[in-house]
Chains A and B, each alone.
Chain A
Amino acid sequence: MSRDSKLHRWHHRMNFGESLYLGEVFRGMGITMGHLLKNLFWTKDMPTVQYPEEHRDYSNRFRGRHRLMQREDGTEKCVACMMCSTACPSDCIHITAGEHSDPSIEKYPETFEIDLLRCVYCGLCEEACPVDAIRMDTGIYEIAGTSREQFYVNKEFLLNDNQQGTL
């Protein structure tokens, strides 16, 4: 039974001062006012971030939305080897390979689509990539859209647009 009495400590008997409530009410209000004044005049110490005007800092290693790397001439680095889609645990990368007009490149992705709704942001795709074509270093975590199709991002978007979350 001693265990019970420990668990239900709030059942202790109030003393006379506490049973008047009034003093306790003011004590509580005092704590509230203290926080209010502190947050009004020392805003920097406040843990709340004024999102979306302000953003919290993330580590450089944070895995945000993917991007596709470009060669110097602006074409995609990807050679469509499908290592990323093979490694992907959520099966969210869909590539169709094609024959490149430049025989020294040979293979390139005709389409490269990522279903951001399926992605679990594990980073196995960038780990698997043999040519450093896919990276998750954009730091973008605000991935929002008004339809499911918007989350199905294509090659052109992943290559060029590194500001927005989705299409």
Chain B
Amino acid sequence: MAKVVIDGKELEFPDGTLLFDACKEARGEPLPHFCYHPDLPIAGVCRLCQVEIEGMPKLTIACNTHVRDGMVVHTRTEKVIKAHKQILELHLINHPVDCPICDQAGECGLQDQYMNYGLYETNVCKDDKVTNPKAVVIGPEVILDKDRCVLCSRCVRFCRTVTKTGEMGIFNRGDKAEIGTAPGVELNNPYSVNVVDICPVGALTSRDFRFKKRVWMLKSVDSICPGCATGCNIRLDFEADSIFRIKPRYNEDVNGRWMCDSGRKEYKSVAAEDRLKVPTANGSEVDWPTLFNEIREFGKPGLVITSPHNSLEEQVLGQFIASEICGGNISSGLSDSFKGNADDMLVDADKTPNRTGAGLAGAKEYSAAELIEKIKAVDAPILIHSNDFDGNSEISTTLDAKTVIYLGTHENEISKQAAIVAPVSCWAEKDGSFVNKHNRVQLFKRAVARPVAASEDWRLLADLMRLWGLSDVPESMPAVRRLVSVRVSELSNFDMNAIAINGEIPGAAEPDDGGEG
């Protein structure tokens, strides 16, 4: 342990702590910085985080210094503040005044530092700026503006140490130095958009989000990526009723600060053209009371088919219906569906977010032949709460002969032939939880509104339970979550209504402390 005095505060840190982190704790806010990133190796190139250490002849950068016992550090003296200002001015010499057209404006490190530490009239002639190429497409997802770059090298270090692909580098020297990809190489790795997140300025921006929205207009909601079984923690950025982008949310135990590029596109299905928007019965649009009358006439279902894309709460309601009405006849779809490539970082081979949750709820997976047998054996209507059989002609032809009550979000073969089609909500339009491949139960929250005539999944399932004469139907989301603990034995001692923001593993020796976010 090392005792350090920072700005008059005496604090103790374990040996090997970076002075930067120590200063952050002592000051309550980080030192100004561009190149320092907690998940990347130290570069020490931006020179912004200089502090005064007693006994040292010159100012020292905090990100490349370890705490030492007896260190006395000053971070707010006149000398330090002057240094911050001057270094920032050097950074700004060749930086274009692009803020009006820069997508980073509003979340830009340079803007923030300038407002916090700069605020001066520049000493540098505006017309002398060194200019570099703008709007250079360097990969399928990322666009580079060399003019805006401050050469912090975060993206270079990310590609070298995190993805280990090493596409990017700094070329030339002095004021001719520029960031770029190696000749003939594209920034085309499955994690490439993370360089956009770590870029402190607007040099690297996302092509998908380019010019879509100014960032200060966006609101954010914590969510979970539905793209694979890893369950990366994400933030949905939305305005009014459209989602504009997905950003990773820090969770040390799941995804750290990263997420994959394909996960960032998951929001596109929410506003897709082929969303189911109105309830239909026998092919014609009806209102909900008529729909319920039709369902009542068809009678109770004999088989429930859920999906590993459904939330844990919906899985349990499906299991409730199956066990009370269909004699436990429930399936969560095909065992070999939604498999893909995995890598050693975040992407999992299982492309569903909640296969573990479906298993916990007691829904079994079958091969296509087994599922077809199951469907054929049932005479009563079949309740399908799943979008998963799109393009599977064998199953859709089998279902064609049956009465299908279909709860889904997107149009597909089955929705076209089903007797009853009830539109429900996408994952971004409802609350719920997914259980990831490591049994971590993680909450996702509603961001945008569902289509006007669509229903919230748990409400619709609860209404159907009432329609079919079940008792003890939950009336609210907390009640559904209490029901989860009642009906899933693995979760019997687990409070679904008090899950921490970073998710929790039921039955883990000690509940997670929730992390720092």
- Residues of A that sit less than 8 Å from B by CB: 79-83, 86, 97-99, 103-104, 106-107, 130-131
CB pair B217 A86 closer than 8 Å: yes
The proximity string for B residues 454-490 relative to A, scoring 1 for CB distances below 8 Å and 0 otherwise, is 0000000000000000000000000000000000000
Within 8 Å of chain A (Cβ to Cβ): is B125?
no
Q: Which of B101, B135, B210 is the one whose CB lies under 8 Å from A81?
A: B101
CB pair A98 B101 closer than 8 Å: no
Q: A80-B101, A103-B134 are in contact. List 16 more A-B contacts (CB 8 A).
A: A81-B105, A81-B214, A82-B217, A83-B100, A86-B214, A86-B217, A97-B211, A98-B211, A99-B210, A103-B135, A106-B101, A106-B134, A106-B135, A107-B100, A107-B101, A130-B99
The proximity string for B residues 140-162 relative to A, scoring 1 for CB distances below 8 Å and 0 otherwise, is 00000000000000000000000
What are 20 pairs between A and B in contact, CB < 8 Å? Answer: A79-B100, A80-B101, A80-B211, A81-B99, A81-B214, A82-B214, A82-B217, A83-B100, A97-B212, A98-B211, A99-B210, A99-B211, A103-B134, A103-B135, A104-B134, A106-B134, A107-B101, A107-B211, A130-B99, A130-B100
Q: Which residues of B contact A104 (CB under 8 A)?
A: 134
Q: Which residues of B contact A80 (CB under 8 A)?
A: 101, 211
Which residue of chain A has its CB nearest to the CB of B135?
A103
Q: Which residues of A contact B210 (CB under 8 A)?
A: 99
Q: How far is the CB of B241 from chain A (nearest CB, A)?
A: 15
CB pair B135 A79 closer than 8 Å: no
Q: Is the interface of B mostly helix, strand, loop or mixed?
A: loop
Q: A103-B134, A103-B135, A107-B211 are in contact. Are A79 and B101 (CB under 8 A)?
A: yes
Q: Which among A79, A80, A83, A97 has the greatest number of chain B C-beta atoms within 10 A? A: A97
Within 8 Å of chain A (Cβ to Cβ): is B120?
no
Q: How far is the CB of B410 from chain A (nearest CB, A)?
A: 26
Q: A106-B134, A106-B135, A107-B211 are in contact. Are A81 and B100 (CB under 8 A)?
A: yes
Q: Which residues of A contact B135 (CB under 8 A)?
A: 103, 106
Q: Which residues of B contact A81 (CB under 8 A)?
A: 99-101, 105, 214
A80 vs B103: C-alpha distance when bound (angstroms): 11
- Residues of B that sit less than 8 Å from A by CB: 99-101, 105, 134-135, 210-212, 214, 216-217
CB pair A131 B100 closer than 8 Å: yes
Which residue of chain A has its CB nearest to the CB of B216?
A86
Q: How far is the CB of B475 from chain A (nearest CB, A)?
A: 38
Q: Which residues of A contact B105 (CB under 8 A)?
A: 81
A111 vs B211: C-alpha distance when bound (angstroms): 13
A80 vs B101: C-alpha distance when bound (angstroms): 7
Q: How far is the CB of A80 from chain B (nearest CB, A)?
A: 7
Q: Which residues of B contact A130 (CB under 8 A)?
A: 99-100
Q: Which residues of A contact B101 (CB under 8 A)?
A: 79-81, 106-107
Q: Which residues of A contact B100 (CB under 8 A)?
A: 79, 81, 83, 107, 130-131
The 6 A-B pairs at the shortest CB distance, nearest first, are namely: A81-B100, A97-B211, A107-B101, A82-B214, A130-B100, A79-B101
Which residue of chain A has its CB nearest to the CB of B103?
A107
Q: Which residues of A contact B134 (CB under 8 A)?
A: 103-104, 106
Which residue of chain B has its CB nearest to the CB of A99?
B211
A130 vs B99: C-alpha distance when bound (angstroms): 10
Q: Which residues of B contact A98 (CB under 8 A)?
A: 211
A82 vs B211: C-alpha distance when bound (angstroms): 10
A103 vs B98: C-alpha distance when bound (angstroms): 13
A86 vs B239: C-alpha distance when bound (angstroms): 13
Q: How far is the CB of A73 from chain B (nearest CB, A)?
A: 18
A83 vs B217: C-alpha distance when bound (angstroms): 11
Q: How far is the CB of B129 from chain A (nearest CB, A)?
A: 14
A131 vs B101: C-alpha distance when bound (angstroms): 11
A86 vs B213: C-alpha distance when bound (angstroms): 11
Q: How far is the CB of B486 from chain A (nearest CB, A)?
A: 47
A107 vs B100: C-alpha distance when bound (angstroms): 9
